[in-house]
Copies of this chain bind each other. A is one copy, B any other.
Amino acid sequence: MAVKKKIYFFSEQKTDGRKSMSDLLGSKGANIAEMCRLGLPVPPGFTVSTEVCGEFLRKKSLGTSLKKDIQKNIQSLEKITNKSFGGENPLLLSVRSGAKFSMPGMMETVLNVGLTSKTVKALVRSSSSERFVYDSYRRLIMMYADVVMEKGLGLGGSPGIREKMEHMLETMKKKNKYSSDSEVSAKEWKGLIKKYLSLIEQNFGVPFPDDHNKQLSGAIEAVFLSWNGKRAKEYRAFEKISNKAGTAVNVQSMVFGNLGKGCGTGVAFTRNPSNGENSFFGEWLPNAQGEDVVAGIRTPQKISGPQKGSLQKEMPKAYKDLEKTRKKLEKHFKEMQDIEFTIENDKLWMLQTRTGKRSGAAAIKIATDMVAERLIKKDEAIRRIEPSQVYESILKNIVEEDLKKAVLLGRGLPAGPGAATGQVVFCAEKAEELGKKGKDVILVRRETSPEDIHGMRYASGILTERGGLTSHAALVARGWGKSCVVGFYGLKIAENNKSAFFGKKRIKEGEWVTLNGADGSIFEKKLELFQQPIKDFEPLRLLLSWADRYRKLHVRTNADTPEDCVQALQFGAQGVGLCRTEHMFFNEKRILQFRKMILAGKREARLKHLRGLLPYQRKDFYKILNTMDGLPVTVRLLDPPFHEFLDIGEKEVASLAKTLKETKKEIIRRIDQLQEVNPMLGRRGCRLGISYPEITEMQVEAILGAALELKKEKKNPRVEIMVPLVGSLEEFLHQKNIIINTYEKLSKKHKQKLSYKIGTMIEIPKACFSAGIIAKNADFFSFGTNDLTQTTFGFSRDDVGSFFPGYLEKGILTFDPFESIDEKGVGALMDIAIKSGKKNNPTLSLGVCGEHGGDPKSINFCNEIGLHYVSCSPFRVPVARLAAAQAVL
């Protein structure tokens, strides 16, 4: 077998590597090589490949052949730099880790390798500053003692050697009343170095290696060893990075930004990472090394701009070079870059470049700008945006500065989008009261129920002790694009609903808190929020218009009110995929009527109360269908079990008893009889409509009555009536017959015909096996993947909170099946239903209306298995439009 190349040289003259070799060279090494190929000024050096890492970790030795290779490369370096490693005009090296995937701060670096008692003197001779040389020497000694000797060789104890050395430095500075390192003189550094060297020998029993080659191999070994450091391993486990990948080692000739005037160092983005504007964005420090910028002792200055202190102003030539480099990099990488540079005696040196992290809005702006600049094609722009970035771009966020100083109260599950700040209230009534006055409130509840809806409407954010990501609170909040954190088990609400413990801190009603629905964190006090105005955000509109041309899936919305519809239309919804009719009953006046209907002992009484509800529902549907004119609207018949409407107090019982002319005891008995052990698996969905056909009749009359009215007004209502929770053909036909009969009656009455569709929700496994015969009689299937997930896994979304965190932590679940469709189980069932459904009815329309309809991974799956549309909450519509395009690309 041919010996594999282990070391890759890079310089402006000769470079072995390239960008595509990040497997071998790590991401940093590959990018450095690419910069060299571009002819950018990169301090020359070489990369020891990731393959050597594994070899070294097995053999615990670099081996003689590798050492020879290193020597050869050092010789090349000496030639290019005209310096000598360990000799006069000494070559100094940096030794840095560099894995394929970024592991920020996880691994080690040693700088100034090559300084020995001999070369220090030579350097003092050749350099202009003795102070700088000894400062560099002490930096090497500190890093080497820490990284190579203590961590690498496993020597050392507590406190660590670095801590001891820092302490010695501080003591010396204190003694001399120095406030910064720059005040330390060459002599003082020399004195400290002496102390350091004896501390090392005392501490480790071996001296600091006064040999440049030993230093180099020691540093390389230490970097390799840091791959298996505890923190690095944990990080990889968490980020699911393979342990086999290994790190490369980048050995590079040192350049110095701290040689005095005409020197500096900085970091920059080639565009603005917050808003995506095409302007140079970065910070620099004159006369400093990279680590000084990170340490944050001095305030960095802006790179661009005519103001004093900017690089542009202070070092115009270097700035010009940098600006040229920036353009070159973007043109080459076709991506916004995050760069590090050093200026040594007015010469610019590029130390690193990589794809820059950015906000959602910035990502969209940059991608669309780059299309305009002809850097990338439209499809590439679409591919490049994470759907979550679209979501992020339209939501509220906490202002960066506020976030830095915020005090965390605890963390729950990130259920709702974006951030919210407001005064805490503990009941829906209070939320409504204050919300109506225009106040920002955060509704804090143990859990929410449909009865809280009126308060939730008025709350800026919702926080619950219980429930998972698909609990009632989470679903409602996401539907409205409202910030929500659920499953915050640190919450204990006082019985009087006037205060609560948020972890250890007691928060009273009226105090301010801030939620971040994106990561589940809860902060003390009011924090400032910002939001990108949606309509005004042209880049997003542009991006999505491109996406619309690629995607095959239609995107509809789940909307229960005309307001939801308006919002969803703004986001580009192509119809309503799920209009839940039950929320329409949770209005004060209607709920009373509805309760009377439920508790009515006899059919006649029930009918009377249903008649009472009819005008309300018809009006609701009229408004929704009018708003969505010309677009399909799928209305689901009543779904939740009766008892969800009956969580009432003594007062309401008494009032109901009075109006129904029954004893309170009897009312309580009736309510009690409606309780269920497992409501999720009880009398709900079509089971209600089959038990009480008159309810289906009333609802259909309201839906089709509204549609017929619109038709008369020359509008184009496109109604689809959906029967929920169907398991068998018989259930479906029972409800379908009622729908058809009701239509016939109405149509005669209105003297108006209407074409409409009847379909069913596929949301229990049994339905997937009955799908074939149902399809023959249905116009559409809509997969209710929430409930299908619940029944397939036997998971109640209200109860999984007690074991889901443990499951995710122990790796028993690798993803949350309520977030992304479980392709192997739920997906397999869907596939069974789709195949048999299409076979039996080629014109069957197929969609999904569970929460998954807004999840990019699930959307990709929906596209794959041949659905026609997804339906999601209004705020998810743009996300879905992009994800649907990506699924095709």
Contact = CB atoms under 8 A, between A and B. Distances in A.
A802 B800 CA distance: 27
A676 B794 contact: no
Interface string A726-749: 011011001000000000000000
Interface string A767-793: 001100000000000000001001111
A812 B690 contact: yes
Contact of A796 (B682, B790, B803): B682
A59 interface: no
B811 A730 contact: yes
A792 B810 contact: no
Interface in A676-701: 676-683, 687, 690-691
Interface stretch (A236-244, A820-828, A848-856): A820-828
A770 B824 contact: yes
B769 A799 contact: no
Given A794-B791, A810-B734, A799 B682 contact: yes
Nearest to A798: B677
A572 to B, nearest CB: 34
Interface in A814-834: 822, 824-826, 828-829
B680 A681 contact: yes
Given A765-B765, A769-B825, A794-B791, A803 B680 contact: no
A766 interface: yes
Given A731-B812, A790-B681, A796-B676, A803 B764 contact: no
A795 interface: yes
A806 interface: yes
A48 interface: no
Contacts of A765: 765, 791-793, 825, 829
A807 interface: yes
B769 A727 contact: no
B677 A679 contact: yes
A812 B734 contact: yes
A725 interface: yes
Given A791-B765, A792-B766, A825-B769, A691 B798 contact: no
A800 B765 CA distance: 17
Contact of A806 (B691, B763, B764): B691
The winner among A681, A791, A822, A825 for most chain B CB atoms within 10 A is A681
Nearest to A807: B690
Interface string A696-739: 00000000000000000000000000000101101100100000
Given A681-B680, A803-B690, A766 B793 contact: yes
Contacts of A803: 683, 687, 690-691
Nearest to A795: B681
Contacts of A812: 690, 728, 730-731, 734
A683 B799 contact: yes
Nearest to A471: B677
Nearest to A832: B828
B825 A690 contact: no
Contacts of A725: 794
Given A791-B792, A803-B691, A828 B681 contact: no
B794 A681 contact: yes
Q: How many copies does the complex hold?
A: 2
A825 B681 CA distance: 17
A37 B807 CA distance: 76
Contacts of A822: 766
A765 B727 CA distance: 15
The winner among A787, A794, A802 for most chain B CB atoms within 10 A is A794
A275 B259 CA distance: 114
Contact of A676 (B763, B770, B798): B798
A800 B822 CA distance: 28
Contact of A680 (B678, B728, B792, B825): B678
A427 B763 CA distance: 40
A82 to B, nearest CB: 59
A648 B677 CA distance: 17
A861 to B, nearest CB: 15
A812 B730 CA distance: 5
A132 to B, nearest CB: 57
B728 A796 contact: no
A677 to B, nearest CB: 4
Contacts of A680: 677-678, 680-681, 794, 796
A806 B686 CA distance: 13
B798 A787 contact: no
Contact of A799 (B676, B792, B794): B676
A799 B690 CA distance: 16
Contact of A691 (B770, B799, B802): B802
B766 A825 contact: yes
A678 B734 CA distance: 28
A679 B679 CA distance: 10
A681 B800 CA distance: 8
B769 A828 contact: yes
A610 B344 CA distance: 70
A792 B794 CA distance: 9
A802 B684 CA distance: 11
The winner among A682, A770, A787 for most chain B CB atoms within 10 A is A682
Nearest to A787: B794
Contacts of A691: 802-803, 806
Nearest to A806: B691
B796 A681 contact: yes
A671 to B, nearest CB: 14
A231 B682 CA distance: 35
A603 to B, nearest CB: 13
A802 B731 contact: no
A492 B796 CA distance: 32
A91 B98 CA distance: 115
A493 to B, nearest CB: 11
Contacts of A798: 676-678
A547 B807 CA distance: 47
Nearest to A773: B824
The winner among A691, A730, A766, A803 for most chain B CB atoms within 10 A is A766
The winner among A727, A731, A790, A799 for most chain B CB atoms within 10 A is A799
Contacts of A796: 676-678, 680-682
B764 A792 contact: yes
A473 to B, nearest CB: 13
A794 B690 contact: no
Nearest to A682: B799
A769 B676 CA distance: 30
Contacts of A813: 728, 730
Contacts of A769: 824-825, 828-829
Given A680-B794, A731-B812, A734-B810, 4 more contacts: A680-B681, A681-B796, A765-B791, A765-B793
5 contacts: A725-B794, A730-B812, A734-B810, A765-B829, A766-B826
Top 5 A-B pairs, shortest CB-CB distance: A681-B796, A678-B796, A682-B799, A764-B794, A677-B798
